[in-house]
Amino acid sequence: MGKVKEFRFEFEKPAPTLDDEDEETLAAIDEGIQDADAGRTVPAEEVRKRLTEWITASSTRKEH
């Protein structure tokens, strides 16, 4: 006789991870949510452009 399955996978409802976020992380997430709700967002393509700027700025600052 076949073995009864003890559980089944629900791909649409993944199990939450066990490690909890601390209060600071949750506050930062909430800040991000507020930004998103207020429309303070930037497209991913724009972020790639800014990446180069940040690196250049930080490298330049170090030289000084």
Partner 1 sequence: MDYRLLYTQRALNDLAEAIGCIAEDDAEASSRFGASLLDHVDLLARVPRLGSVVRRRSRVRKLLHSPMLVYYRIDEKKRLIEILHLRHAARVPPRRLPRRRLGGHSPVARAMILLCASQRRILRSRHGALILAGLIGFVCGGRAASQPQTTAAGAPQVQKIDPPNWWVGPPSPSTCRTELPLPIGLATAPPLQVRDGRLGAMLPGRTASIYVPL
| Residues that bind partner 1 in the complex, under the rule CB under 8 A | 11, 14-17, 20-29, 31-33, 35-36, 40-44, 47-48, 50-52, 54-59, 61-62
Q: Based on CB atoms, which residue is closest to partner 1, 8 or 61?
A: 61
Task: Rank residues 3 and 23 by Cβ distance to partner 1 and give the closer one.
Answer: 23
Chain centre to alpha carbon of residue 48? 16
Torsion sign, CA atoms 61, 47, 45, 38 = negative
At position 22, the amino acid (one-letter code) is D
How many CB atoms lie under 10 A from the CB of residue 6? 5
Least CB distance to partner 1 at residue 9 (A):
13
